[in-house]
Amino acid sequence: MEVVKLRDDYIKLGQALKAAGLVESGVDAKFVIQDGLVKVNGKVELQRGKKLIDGDIVEFDGEEIKITK
């Protein structure tokens, strides 16, 4: 499981996917999110700007990202 540490109170979903190296660019993040391929805490998330906070789990392409403070 990849871990993304927060610098602020939250990170946006698209930024988290990029930070974890699961997508190469913000455009790639936009498309995989729009296509319903990304889950946050077990639910499909369609908002690229979804704010992720400490404890959130993101799933994409068989990988998991944990957001930590």
Per the DSSP assignment, residues forming a β-bridge with 50 are none
* The Cα angle at residue 66 between residues 19 and 32, in degrees rounded to 5: 55
pTM tops 0.85: yes
Domain boundaries, the chain: 2-68
Give CATH superfamily name and number for 2-68.
Answer: RNA-binding S4 domain (3.10.290.10)
Tell me if 22 sits within 8 A of 34, measured CB to CB.
no
Provide the residue-wise pLDDT of the chain in tens; the chain has 69 residues. 899 999 999 999 999 999 999 999 999 999 999 999 999 999 999 999 999 999 999 999 999 999 999
